[in-house]
Each structure stands twice: as structure tokens, then as C-alpha cells.
Structure 1
């Protein structure tokens, strides 16, 4: 069993495509990159491309979510504005009622002819007509203001509804795209692992797969074996899957994640059988060796020289494995049984884990 989680994923599994941001091997070791030994990059390259597609889709999906959150904040502000407009209309309507009632009380309810007949004082009649004119103007202005406010409210409500529908449609499209790529990626990972299991069962490797690698340079002489990961079983931990104690550090990563050479060296072993499943051992200058096990594919040949950060394989769950992860060891010799704790070893070389 794996040890409790000791570090959160640096990025979600679907963002594992960002692990491609590692160094392109030097010209001496990059020959033929992009082609498999049999002339076809195969399912391994498809998985890498799908990781990239998934990363882009996830990025767009997350950006859409952020935009939707910002839009919801704008909608909240807009709803407050609409609320103020509704309250303003209610006040206007109440004002219209008061004006109409006042107009009726002040004589606005009598026809002008009747007011002339019943008037006892011409000056009083003129004052009444002046009041009536002002009242009528106030009513007209209030009605027009109310109409404008109601029209503005209707337009604002329609605008808010249109924006909301557009955001919902966009979110649904991004979610569908993300889901489709995830499904295709899962199928491709299953095919890749199926090929790995067949190789382990036969005890014969399929041959190195050449994958296109990015051209970004690695600044450090040493790097971690994968760029994004969760730490699972650590060095020296106990469990039923090991004869005594765990001899390496496990990095939990999805099937097909590019695995990197932690430093410059020479591939001294490529094996496809036994408890480690598909494994690679690299001998580094200074006497230490590193092992990369439970792979789904290898991208280098035995005897090849490798550069720091160069892709040497793809992670999997071949051999005696409880789930997708990379088993990484640092050894005093290339052979099993000479392992040291890889975490402080990498940290001492400027490649901290965790």
C-alpha cells in the first residue's frame, strides 16, 4: 500500500502535459527523436499529444470558469442596479398617484368651462389655472420619467439574460470538449498500458519509442524524474508488496506521463520483466545509478547517452504495481540492493522533491 499523501499535485492530472516543459536533449542524443524504431510513433505519441490537448482544453475550461465567476460578480452588481431601478419606478408610480390625487382636489377634476362659470374672482381663476398647468406638467414629466425608467429596466434585464445565456452556452461547450478529450485520453492510456503488460508477460521489450521533446533548456544539472506528481510510498516504508522495505521513492502520476533522466549518464539496462515491470537503469558520472520502474514505454535504447531532463520513458503500472506511478531509485551500483534514499540525494544536487 502507498504511504499517506505527502504532497498535493502541483497541477491536476489533466495538466500533466505541462511536464513537457523540460530540456530537449543535446544533438548527440537527439538523433531520430520523433520516430519510433519501427517508423511509427504509435500509441505513446498519441498519449503525449492527448495530454497536450487535455491541458489546453483544461486551460480553456478553467479560464471559462474564471470568466463565469467574474460574470456572476458583474451580474450581482447588475442585479443591485436593477433593484434600484425597480425601487425608483415604484417611487415614481407612488408619486404619480399623489400628483393625480392632488390635481383632483385642486380642481383638476372639473372641466375648464365649469371652472369659469363657478369662479367668483378672476384672479382666483387665474391662480387655479396656473396651479393646474403646473400640476399637469408635473404629471406629464413624472409619466415620461417613469416610462424611461421602465424601458431602461426592461433593456437591462434583457441584456443580463443574454449575457447569462451566452456564458452558460460557452461553459457547456468547454465542459463537453474537456470531457471528450478526457475520454479519448483514458482509452489511449489503456492501450498504452495494455502493450506494456503484453511486453512484461512476454519478457521482451517492444523497442524504444522516439517522442518529440520541447526545446526549452534545463537550467539545472539535476532534475526530478517527473515534473508534476504526488509522493506516495517513500524510501524505507513497509508493505506487503516488498520483501523487506521499500527501496525507492514512488511518484504517483497518470499512465503515459513523460519520465525524465534526473541527470546526465548512460543507459545500462532496459528490462521488461519481473517485479519492476518495464524498467530503465542509468549510470551517472561519479558512481551513482538511478532506476525508473513500472513504466509503460521506453524512449531510449540500452547503451544510449542521456542528458538531464531528457525523456527516457513514460510512466505506467507494469510489474508488481498497485496503481499508476513511477518507482524511482538511487543506487550506489547499477544493481538492486544498493539503494539509498533518493529524496535527500536529489535535494543535495539542487533538485528538491516535495
Structure 2
């Protein structure tokens, strides 16, 4: 989970209203992680259910094969008996033994038939044992599948409830963010517990799951000139990550970009994260690659929930370069 803590709790100071903002941010972060956890559990359970269903299906095929084998063995035994009976002329066994010229042939035929009968009988026994074992395995697989289906149904219901709560919490957070942006007053930073990961690559994408929307240089009615960044369509409250290590040079609230964070990286380039709902850093903070720095939103001149991401040669607007090839050159392929 990513529970939120106030700056004041860590020795900082917060402005009036920070408490409500922190609570809203924490609520979104906690529900976001809970929903993600349930989704992962549901996906895992669904895959397991499919595997158990496949196992039960394979056992059904093997059972059918064993039934066919037993039937074939009985058929073969009957055919062999008829052949042997025909070769003996249809006479009773006792009659054949009284005839010297056929005694050896009858004994040999009856011995062969007895051996075949024993072989077929043993095969039938083995087949029936295999059939019983497969029946037990099929029953277990079917029971496991039913249990998983029931559990997946419960997880799906829990997922729907969490999504409903999360959606409500997201818009509560957004309303507070809009009020902050309208007043051009930044609330205190909400510090988020960081994801547990030992190492990160040097550079990563600003959000983990996304859909690319407006790209660099595209036209539109919501900006005066060409689009200066790359938009990532994500829900309100999505954790936003620093794409690389650096230092926060700006946190502003208000204007076209709404709530935004700008980070300067080694080599002089800066990255901007805009239209946010909450920030988790302040000016001058050092950040590491992958560190959670904000929660996405739709403040400022925004058409809907998304993260506006820019790469600039300076901290100022107007110095942007296309983020997609820039990230690709740093090993991040969107």
C-alpha cells in the first residue's frame, strides 16, 4: 500500500487545509493499491481456474480412452474365443480329447486361449485401476475448479465495490485539487510510502500503466500552440514516478498546467509532470528514479484525467523536446 503521511508529521509545516488534502490523497492511494491487489488475485485465480478446467478436461479424455480400451479388450477376447471354437470344429472339449489325431491341437488351442484370457483379464484389471485413479483425479480437479470459481466470484464482487469507492475518492481528491489550483495555493506535500523495490533502471516511464494520448507537436483546441509534451491517459490518483534521479526545481499550483512538478536531471534536462491532483515532493528535494512524486489528476487546462509529461532543455516552458524519442534514447520504450 501507499499510505500517506503529512509533511508536518515528518517535521515539515503544512498550510491550512492540508489535513483534508492528505486524508483524500491517502484514501485514494490506499484504495488504489487495494484494488490493484484484488485485481492481481482475481487474475491469478482466473488463470488457476482455467488450468484446473483444462486438467479436468484432459482427465475426461483419458477416462473415455480407458473405457474404449476395456471395451476393445472384451471384444478381442470374444473374437479370439470364436476363432478358437471355429478351429476346433465346434466340438466339445471332451470329444476332442477322445480323438487321438486332434488331441495335441485341442490342448494347444485351449492353452493359447487360456493364456489370452489371462492376458486380457490382466489388461482389463490394469485399465480399470487406471480408470478409478483418473476418476478420483477428475473429481479433485472439478472440485478445485468449483472452489476457484466461487473465490473468483467473491473477488470480482470485491473488485467492483473497491472500484466504486475508489472512483468516489478520486473525485473528492480532484475537487480539493481544483480548489487549490483555482486559489493558486499549493497545499503541503503528501508523502507516500514508496514501492518496495531494491533496484530500478536509470530511467523509467512516469506512470506504470497507461494509454498514450496527445503526443508532442500535435494540434488541438486546448493549447495556443502545438502540444509541448506527451500525455498519458490514466485515472485520477494514479501514482506518478520520477523518470530519473534529480532535484525538484519547481512545484506550482495554478495556470494552464494546474498542479505541476519540474525536476532537473544530470545532463541539464528537466522533466515536467502536470495536471496533478496532489504532490509528494517540494522544491529542493532530491528524488531517485522510480520515487513516487505525485498523484495524477485533471487540474488546469485539462480535457480529462491524464498526466502531461514534458522533457525540457531548461525548467521553462517553450524549451521542450519530444519525450518519446528522448526516453527511448535512455532505454525507455513507451
TM-score, length-scaled by structure 1: 0.69
Structure scoring higher RCO (CA < 8 A, sep ≥ 6) equals 1
1:88-119 deviations in Å (ceiling 9; x for gaps): 22221212322454576658885x8xx47x98
Query: Alpha carbons of 1:184 and 1:63: their partners in 2 closer, same or farther (altered >3 Å)?
Result: closer
- Provide the residue aligned with 1:173 in structure 2: 151
SS state of the match for residue 191, structure 2?
A: coil
For residues 159 and 307 of structure 1, what CA distance do their matches in structure 2 show?
54
* C-alpha distance in structure 1 between counterparts of 2:124 and 2:100, whole Å: 36
Aligned match for 1:306, one of 286, 301, 313: 286
Q: How far 1:243 moved relative to its partner?
A: 2.5
Contact 2:311 2:323 in 1 (8 A): no
Residue-by-residue CA offset, 1:207-235 (whole Å, 9 max, x unaligned): 32121114635553x65433443322112
Deviation, structure 1 residue 277: 3.2
For residues 85 and 328 of structure 2, the distance between their equivalents in structure 1, rounded to whole angstroms, comes to 94
1:153 to 2:131 alignment = yes
The equivalent residue for 1:232 is 213
Query: Whole-Å Cα distance in 2 between the matches of residues 150 and 62 of structure 1?
Result: 38
The correspondence for 2:252, drawn from 270, 277, 300, is 270
Deviation at 1:61, TM superposition (A): 4.3
CA contact (8 A) 1:259 1:313 kept: yes
| Greater alpha carbon shift after TM alignment, 138-147 vs 244-253 | 138-147
| CA displacement, residues 132-173 of structure 1 (integer Å, 9 cap, x when unaligned) | 576456446534543542343243134224314413532552
1:155–1:330 Cα change, 3 Å: closer
1:192 to 154, 158, 170: 170
Aligned pair in 2 of structure 1 residues 80, 344: CA closer, same or farther (>3 Å)? closer
Aligned-partner Cα distance in 2 for 1:154–1:53: 44
Judge conservation of contact 1:346–1:353 (CA < 8 Å) in 2.
no
For 1:294-314, what per-residue CA distance to the aligned partner results, in whole angstroms no more than 9, with x for missing partners? 21221124x342323332211
For the aligned residue pairs, the C-alpha RMSD in angstroms reads 4.3
TM-score, normalized by length of structure 2? 0.72
Q: Distance in 2 between matches of 1:70 and 1:146?
A: 31
Quick one: structure 1 residues 44 and 84, their matched pair in 2 at CA, closer, same or farther if it must change by over 3 Å? same
2:191 corresponds to 1:210 = yes
Change (3 A) 1:288 1:80: closer
Q: Which runs of 5+ in 1 are unaligned?
A: 1-16, 21-28
1:59 positional shift: 4.1
* Structure 2 residues without counterparts, runs of 5 or longer: none
Tell me if the contact between 1:298 and 1:312 (Cα under 8 Å) persists in the aligned partners. Answer: yes
Tell me, yes or no, if the aligned pair for 1:296 and 1:315 is still in contact at 8 Å: yes
Task: Give the conservation status (yes or no) of the 8 Å contact 2:281–2:294.
Answer: yes
Alignment length (residue pairs): 319
Counterpart pick for 2:278 among 280, 289, 297: 297
1:293, 1:328 within 8 Å by CA — same for their partners in 2? yes
Residue pair 1:261, 1:306 contacting (<8 A) in 2 also: no
Superposed CA offset, 1:239-277 (max 9, x none)? 122233212221222332221334422343330x44433
SS in 2 for 1:266: strand
Q: Residue 323 of structure 2 corresponds to which residue in structure 1?
A: 343
Residue of 234, 240, 260 corresponding to 1:279: 260
The answer on 1:257 being equivalent to 2:238 is yes
- Distance in 1, matches of 2:271 and 2:130, equals 71
Change in Cα spacing, 1:100 to 1:194, as seen in structure 2 (3 Å) is: same
Instruction: Give the conservation status (yes or no) of the 8 Å contact 1:296–1:317.
Output: yes
| Aligned twin of 1:162 | 140
Following the alignment from structure 1 to structure 2, what is the Cα–Cα distance between the partners of residues 141 and 242? 87
